[in-house]
Amino acid sequence: MAANSLRTKADSGVNVAKGFAHPQWAARADQLQSLSGVLLGLFLVMHLHFESSILLGKEAFYQVAQFLEGGVFSETGHGYPLLTQIFSGFMLLVVMIHAGFSLRRFPTQLGQWRALRNQMRFLPHEDTKIWFWQMISGFLLFFLVPAHLLTMISNPEIGPHLSAERVYHFNAWILYVLLLPVVAVHAVFGLYRVVVKWGLIEQRFALLKFAKVLLAYLMLLGMASLLAYILIGRSLELPVVPYVSML
């Protein structure tokens, strides 16, 4: 019985090992993890739709970019790239906060990985698989997302030509091809798990089906947008001249 108790403490948690055993702190950490995750998930959904305005043409994307950069407050109508840098820095901070709280539940011992593997083998519950892929995708995002955000901080210029130049001529498409499926899976199923965890919707199976449809839609939207940037980038001559609005 004592051995079982010791095994339970070892397998349950990184919480004890990292000082998160206090119930009040654990509950607060869960709330902050969920809140930061919801913020990041909703941001991704909006971000992919803003980026997809390129599918409506260069002018549409230019107007969206200038609006997001505060062009309405500029006499020339041109936005402020500084806002992109500030917002990218803020999102990087949120990512680090979310990652820090998420690491509490990351298996760190061989016995925990074996227990997880055995559970997935003998009890192939779909939510367990989702949690596993959340963990794997979260680990990958710890490297992929900062690479993207640091690029936006160091080179915040956005526009049909400049963004296409970054994607095609600077080979950023390689990063985005890796980032898109990982971040989409993590965000969509992360939002699903938050809704289920906090009991916001009781129809779990219907919600899971909606999550899968949303994932497919976001993947299609993101890949179509990426392809549009690649095609525009291929058509541009170096050095690339920023797009000039026709309005």
- How many CB atoms neighbour CB 237 within 10 A? 6
For residue 103, the model assigns a pLDDT of 81
> Among the listed ranges 22-26, 76-80, 175-179, 210-214, which one has the minimum average pLDDT value?
22-26
pLDDT in tens, 125-143: 677 788 888 888 999 999 9
CA distance 145 to 130: 20
The answer for residues whose C-beta is within 8 angstroms of residue 17's C-beta and 6 or more apart is: 108
Tokens read off for 135: 């963990």
Full set of structural domains in the chain with CATH: 2-235 (1.20.1300.10)
> Among the listed ranges 39-53, 90-104, 113-127, 204-218, which one has the minimum average pLDDT value?
113-127
Select the more confidently predicted residue: 100 or 107.
100
CA distance 108 to 115: 12
**Average pLDDT of the chain?**
85
For residue 241, the model assigns a pLDDT of 92
CA distance 218 to 205: 20
* In the predicted structure, residue 3 carries a pLDDT above the cut 80: no
For residue 72, the model assigns a pLDDT of 76
**pTM of the full predicted structure?**
0.83
What are the φ and ψ backbone dihedral angles of 170, each rounded to 5 degrees?
-95, 5
pLDDT in tens, 133-186: 888 899 999 999 999 999 999 999 899 999 999 999 999 999 999 999 999 999
Residue in the structure block whose two tokens are 């839609």: 217
